[in-house]
């Protein structure tokens, strides 16, 4: 009988060890990813008309004197296929994807979950370089770091920093970082224009996750804005494409 009890005890220990190993593996597999949809609501819920309020952003004044690169065009044109985002002065060149709605049809599709430094452009909204409205962009935040969202949320950009977006045809549009807004998912008003806006001033709105719980749920979002550069500001440096 003692031998039988010993064997039973050994089996139990082995089962516990296997279960513990499985849990550890599961945690490791889920650590890098952003398991939450980046975007808020559906674009179809937003009033796509001139009456949409333009006063819902929480942004800081752009006071930086960062120089506009000569590669920034003075007359930016809409970019149908953006392929790269360059954070001028930060030595970062990020690949971009053109994506539509996700499989559920409930939100714009985010970049692949293992691509922490890829930026997605929502191709059912305003184009990058458009003369009005917000070009909606998204990227990932990983709960334990290692993605663009983590760096943005830790203060990567300074007011006035230049962000250049390039198209597959060699075209480009430049933006000046102008501020950000923080929203909790539970408080998001789907009729606001903090993210989706078709008729306002030309900007990009780059959304990433924030406010992670210990269980890995992102309860908040940060949205980073850039104002389109063109006209006299770009012409001062002889901007060209």
The string of pLDDT tens digits covering residues 64-77 is 567 888 889 999 99
Please tell me the pTM assigned to this model: 0.79
The region that residue 57 occupies, defined by phi over 0 for left and psi between -120 and 50 for alpha, beta otherwise, is: beta
* Spatial contact of 192 and 53, defined as CB atoms under 8 Å apart: yes
pLDDT band at 106 (very low <50, low <70, confident <90, very high): confident
Report the pLDDT averaged over residues 112-125.
Answer: 97
pLDDT computed for residue 67 by the predictor: 83
The SS3 call for residue 234 is: helix
Report the pLDDT averaged over residues 20-36.
Answer: 41
By C-alpha distance, which of 150, 148, 172 is closest to 162?
172
pLDDT band at 105 (very low <50, low <70, confident <90, very high): confident
- Give the pairing of strands 203-212 and 134-138: parallel
Which residues neighbour 129 within 8 Å (Cβ) at sequence distance 6 or greater? 76, 77, 78, 79, 135, 165, 171, 173, 202, 228
pLDDT band at 3 (very low <50, low <70, confident <90, very high): low
More confident residue, 70 or 50: 70
Rounded to a whole number of angstroms, the distance between the first and last alpha carbons of the chain is 85
The SS3 call for residue 161 is: coil
Report the pLDDT averaged over residues 30-55.
Answer: 51
Report the pLDDT averaged over residues 148-155.
Answer: 98
pLDDT computed for residue 19 by the predictor: 46
Residues in the chain: 241
CA distance 96 to 40: 20
Report the pLDDT averaged over residues 142-171.
Answer: 96
């Amino acid at each position: 009988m003692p031998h039988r009890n010993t064997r039973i005890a050994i089996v139990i220990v082995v089962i516990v060890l296997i279960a513990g190993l499985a849990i550890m593996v599961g945690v490791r597999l889920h650590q890098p990813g952003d398991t939450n949809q980046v975007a808020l609501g559906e674009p179809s819920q937003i009033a796509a008309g001139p009456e949409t309020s333009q006063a819902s952003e929480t942004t800081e004044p752009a006071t930086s004197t960062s120089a506009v690169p000569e590669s920034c065009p003075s007359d930016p044109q809409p970019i149908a296929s953006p392929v790269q985002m360059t954070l001028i002065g930060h030595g970062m060149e990020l690949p971009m994807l053109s994506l539509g709605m996700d499989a559920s049809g409930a939100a714009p599709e985010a970049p692949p979950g293992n691509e922490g430094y890829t930026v997605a452009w929502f191709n059912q909204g305003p184009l990058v370089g458009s003369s009005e409205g917000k070009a909606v962009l998204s990227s990932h935040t990983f709960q334990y770091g290692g993605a663009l969202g983590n760096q943005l949320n830790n203060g990567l950009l300074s007011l006035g920093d230049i962000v250049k977006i390039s198209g597959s045809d060699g075209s480009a549009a430049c933006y000046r970082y102008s501020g950000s807004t923080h929203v909790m998912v539970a408080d998001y008003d789907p009729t606001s224009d903090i993210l989706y806006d078709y008729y306002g001033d030309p900007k990009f709105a780059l959304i990433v996750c924030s406010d992670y719980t210990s269980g890995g749920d992102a309860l908040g979002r940060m949205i980073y804005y850039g104002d389109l550069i063109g006209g006299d500001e770009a012409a001062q440096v002889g901007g060209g494409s």
